[in-house]
């Protein structure tokens, strides 16, 4: 099962790197959120308690359903071409993805001895998703795509946290989820204002302040 999640994680990342329609990107992100939400149920074989159930359920609901819904609504509310408009082209993005995958495997191999509890495949997936999320934030012109990148980044950190730290108190998990929840809304409202003021969500136009 972890193999399947690993595969879907990788495929969704490459799909996000190569897709030109924002709507399709949001759907891939949703799939990624749902699949990664299952990781807490699978990563540890010492029984599934209420805490793990809540954690998985909360993540699937937020990252698989609510966030994509918010983003899709935002996309349909704003007057903007529905293309991703990258600073870095799609082919170059996919090439970056391949290099990042290699580096993730290497870094996971380095970290593995220090983290004996963590399943290797998930460790590698987490590092890969984190790096691709970061790349999306930097390389895409649309503010909406930056939010998608940020959420991928969060997805990666979530997987990393779940597999490395077993006993995080529920309160902390809930706090982190709440922050992600508020973050998406704050960013959504910000995009809405930016779109109204600038007539687009192109972050390349946000260039008046420098020096």
Partner 1 sequence: MFADYSIFAMLALAILGALVCLALPRPRHVLRLIVLVSAIELGLAANVWVGVLGNGFVTAADGWFYIDAFSAFYLIVLVLVFLLSSAFAGVYFAHETGEHGFTLTVAHRFGALWLGSLTAMMLVLVSNNLGIMWVGMEATTLLSAFLISLHPSRLSLEAMWKYLIICSVGIAFAFIGTIFAAASVQTAGGIPADALFWTRLASADVQLDPLLMKFAFIFILVGYGTKTGLAPIHSWLPDAHSQAPTPVSAMFSGFLLNTALYCIMRFVPPARHALGAEFTNELLIFFGTLSILVAAGFIVFQRDAKRLLAYHSVEHLGIITLGFGLGPLGTFAALFHTLNHSVCKSLAFFAVGRLGQEFGSHEMHALSGALRADRLWGIALLGSVLALIGVAPFSVFMSEYQLLRAAAGAGKWLVLVLFLAASSVVFLSALRHLIDMAYGDPKLPMADGAADACPGAQDGKAGILIVVSAIGLLVLLGLWMPVWFSGALVSAAAVLGARV
Q: Tokens representing 84?
A: 């991703």
Q: Does residue 3 bind partner 1 (CB under 8 A)?
A: no
Name the one range near partner 1 by CB under 8 A: 5-13, 23-31, 32-40, 187-195. Answer: 187-195
**What whole-number distance in Å separates Cα of residue 5 and Cα of residue 23?**
22
Among 2, 14, 31, 164, binds partner 1 (CB under 8 A): 164
Tokens standing for residue 124 = 């590698």
One of 31, 66, 88, 115 touching partner 1 (CB under 8 A): 115
Please give the Cα distance from 81 to 63 (Å, whole number). 24
Tokens of 174: 């809930």
The answer to whether residue 74 forms part of the interface with partner 1 (CB under 8 A) is no
Q: Which one of the spans 53-61, 78-86, 94-102, 162-170 is the region binding partner 1 (CB under 8 A)?
A: 162-170
Could you say whether residue 28 binds partner 1 (CB under 8 A)? no
Q: Measured between alpha carbons, how far is 63 from 70 in angstroms, rounded to an integer?
A: 10
When the beta carbons of 11 and 196 are compared against partner 1, the nearer one is 196
Pick one of 52, 60, 71, 194: the residue that binds partner 1 (CB under 8 A).
194
Identify which of 71, 43, 94, 57 has the alpha carbon closest to the alpha carbon of residue 151. Answer: 71
Is residue 99 within 8 A of residue 132, CB to CB? The reply is: no
Task: Give, as ranges, the residues between 122 and 161 that touch partner 1 (CB under 8 A).
Answer: 130, 134, 137, 143, 146, 150, 153-154, 157, 160-161
62-77: b or e for each residue (b if 16 or more CB lie within 10 Å)?
A: bbbebbbebbbebbee
Contact status: 47 vs partner 1 (CB under 8 A): no
Token pair 């984190």 is at which residue? 130
Binding site for partner 1 (CB under 8 A): 111, 114-117, 130, 134, 137, 143, 146, 150, 153-154, 157, 160-161, 164-169, 171-172, 175-176, 178-179, 182-183, 186-187, 189-190, 193-194, 197-198, 203, 206-209, 211
């Amino acid at each position: 099962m972890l193999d399947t999640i690993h595969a879907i994680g990788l495929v969704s990342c490459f799909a996000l790197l190569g897709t030109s329609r924002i709507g399709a990107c949001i759907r891939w992100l949703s799939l990624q959120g749902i699949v990664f939400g299952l990781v807490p149920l699978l990563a540890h074989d010492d029984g599934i308690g209420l805490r793990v159930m809540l954690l998985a359920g909360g993540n699937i609901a937020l990252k698989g359903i609510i966030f994509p819904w918010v983003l899709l609504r935002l996309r349909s509310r704003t007057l903007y071409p529905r293309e991703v408009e990258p600073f870095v082209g799609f082919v170059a993005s996919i090439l970056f993805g391949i290099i990042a995958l290699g580096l993730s495997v290497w870094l996971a191999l380095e970290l593995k001895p220090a983290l004996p509890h963590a399943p290797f495949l998930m460790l590698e997936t987490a590092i890969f998703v984190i790096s691709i999320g970061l790349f999306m934030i930097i390389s895409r012109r649309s503010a909406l795509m930056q939010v998608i990148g940020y959420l991928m980044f969060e997805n990666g950190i979530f997987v990393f946290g779940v597999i490395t730290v077993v006993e995080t108190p529920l309160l902390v998990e809930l706090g982190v989820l709440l922050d992600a929840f508020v973050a998406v809304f704050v960013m959504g409202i910000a995009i809405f204002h930016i779109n109204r003021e600038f007539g687009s969500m192109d972050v390349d136009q946000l260039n008046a302040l420098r020096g």
